[in-house]
Amino acid sequence: MRIAYSTYALQGVDPFDAVVQVKEIGYDGLEINCGAAWPTAPERFGPGQRARLRDVLQGAGFPPPPVMNLIGLCAEAEQPAAKSEQLRQTCRLARDLSWQDCPSVVTTTLGPQAGSWDESKDAVASRLRGYGELAAQENSVLAVEPHIGQELDTPEKANWLMQAVDHPHVRLNFDFSHFLVQGIELAHSLELTARYAVHAHIKDGRMVDGEVRFALPGDDRLDLAAYFRAVRAAGLDVPITAEVSGQIWGRPGYDPWPVARRCFANLAAAHRAAN
pLDDT digits (tens, 9 = 90+) for 87-128: 999 999 999 999 999 999 999 999 998 889 999 999 999 999
What pLDDT, in 10s, does the model give residues 186-229? Answer: 999 999 999 999 999 999 999 999 999 999 999 999 999 999 99
Weakest-pLDDT range from 14-28, 74-88, 105-119:
74-88
pLDDT, mean over the chain: 97
3 state SS of 156: helix
pLDDT for residue 265 is more than 70: yes
Print burial letters for 26-46: b (CB count within 10 Å at least 16), e (below 16): ebbbbbbbbeeebbbbbeebe
What single string gives the DSSP state of each residue in 171-201?
Answer: EEEEETHHHHTTT--HHHHHHHHGGGEEEEE
Look at residues 272, 259, 268, 273 and name the one whose alpha carbon lies nearest to residue 216.
259
pTM of the model: 0.96
Confidence of residue 78 (pLDDT cuts 50, 70, 90): low
Give Cβ neighbours of residue 247 (< 8 Å, ≥ 6 apart).
213, 214
Confidence of residue 175 (pLDDT cuts 50, 70, 90): very high
Look at residues 174, 74, 172 and name the one whose alpha carbon lies nearest to residue 121.
74
Distance CA 164, CA 114 (A): 20
Look at residues 93, 76, 96 and name the one whose alpha carbon lies nearest to residue 36.
93
* pLDDT for position 108: 97
